[in-house]
Structure 1
Amino acid sequence: MLGTGGATAALLAGANDDVPVDTPRDPAREAAERELSRPMYHENDPNLLERALDRFWEWVDSLFGAASSGTPGGLIGLVAVILVVVALAAALWWRLGKPQRAVRTSSDSIFEDGPRSASAHRTAADKHAAAERWNQAVQERMRAIVRSLEERTLLDARPGRTADEAAAEAGRPLPHHADELRAAARIFDDVTYGGRTADRQAYERLRDLDLALESTKPLSVTAAEGAAE
């Protein structure tokens, strides 16, 4: 027979074997983190690039979702707006040419090499036109126009003159051709500096202007000054 004290001790001993030991919260969390950090639990996790792509597409999806909810017509309306913006950008690119040449300086001379006669420039232009090299044909024909005006002393032979400057100066003694001179300079600039491609029509326009100027009598200095006023 056990005494009361012995029975109580036995009950307490049994209770200690059956009741689990409580672990404090912080050590338990740390133990779980250590366990989950083992490589065996992360063998199939996405790599850094995959996670970055997932975040990117989630951002794109949320962006389109927000835009479509605020655009009349929902997603279809958003697509229509995007197509319009792309079309406008393409039109601006076609009209303005390459951005890096959009800004020109006064150092862009119409003549790249040494002095040549108007006749030499015309011959070169005709050769390029016969081979359908319209860009070079346009450039040489514009140089022929300016050199011819210099040879006729309607323009002073000034190095470094641009096509725009030549057109503006020649338009004073030749006012009836001022608009065509400016148009010719614009075609030359678009081809030479703007990345545009010339065609037969553009070349023939400059050729016709060259022929017309040859047979045009300029105004006198006094008449030219009066027309400018």
Structure 2
Amino acid sequence: MTAVRAAALLASPIDIGREQAAREAARELSGAGYQHEPLFDRLQREISQFLGDLMSGGGTGVGGVTSLVVIAVVLAVLAVLLLWALRRFSRDPRTESGAVFGQRERTAAEHRAEAERLAAEGSWAGAIQERLRAIARELEERAIVGPMPGRTAVELAEVAGQALPPHAADLRAAARLFDDVTYGGLGGTREGYLSLTALDERLRSARASVDA
């Protein structure tokens, strides 16, 4: 028995009693066919019914105007969601994950001072991040490496290692440490921060390779 038959019971001219007809309709609607209806099909059916009810005003009168307003609002919301999704997926992925620098631009001295402040608080992960940013900005300010928005720590180590071959291995280790505390979920340590501090000091007095 289908929903049509259940509805027919309620409107049946046979004198079986309104309460009995209601019980029959409820029993049919609670059958296995309705209880096991897939969620997607149910949502599709309810949305179709909702839109059909909106359009039942025929586009005229108060009901028709209200339907048009509701449909316009729904379309506007969908358009906003679509634009948001397009903007999100069109961003350079390196600015979302892996980039050394954040949105705010600071000098090497500012990054270095922030690293020391975080280290004094025992925030080793943040101190490691800021110390590597100080190294990267120092190399850019000295024109050892060229500025490149969205550069990752690994890319920095590769480019800087070519310009400063004696420090290439230490730069790669620093890049791995930065990625571990930033994207790997690992906590920073005092020893890790001190290793970057020592590398920062060595690089400040290093000279770029003539070949590079």
CA–CA separation in structure 2 for the residues paired with 1:214 and 1:127: 20
Q: 166, 187, 190: which is aligned to 2:156?
A: 166
Counterpart of 2:180 in structure 1 is 190
Q: Find the structure with the greater CA-based Rg.
A: 1
Counterpart of 2:130 in structure 1 is 140
Q: Deviations 1:101-156 (Å, cap 9, x if unpaired)?
A: xxxx6442111122110000000000000111000000000000000000001111
Q: 106, 120, 125: which is aligned to 2:110?
A: 120
Q: 152, 161, 167: which is aligned to 1:177?
A: 167
Alignment-mate amino acid for residue 153 of structure 2: A
Unaligned 5+ segments in structure 1 are 1-104, 225-229
Percent identity of equivalent pairs: 47
Counterpart mapping for 1:1-20 below 5 A: none
User: Secondary structure of the equivalent of 1:218?
Assistant: coil
Q: Does 1:110 align with 2:110?
A: no
CA–CA separation in structure 1 for the residues paired with 2:94 and 2:196: 23
CA–CA separation in structure 2 for the residues paired with 1:183 and 1:131: 24
TM-score (norm 2): 0.54
Q: Deviations 1:155-206 (Å, cap 9, x if unpaired)?
A: 1111100000000000011000000000000000000000001110000000
Alignment-mate amino acid for residue 175 of structure 2: A
Counterpart of 2:89 in structure 1 is none
Runs of 4+ more than 6 Å apart? none
Q: 141, 144, 147: which is aligned to 1:154?
A: 144
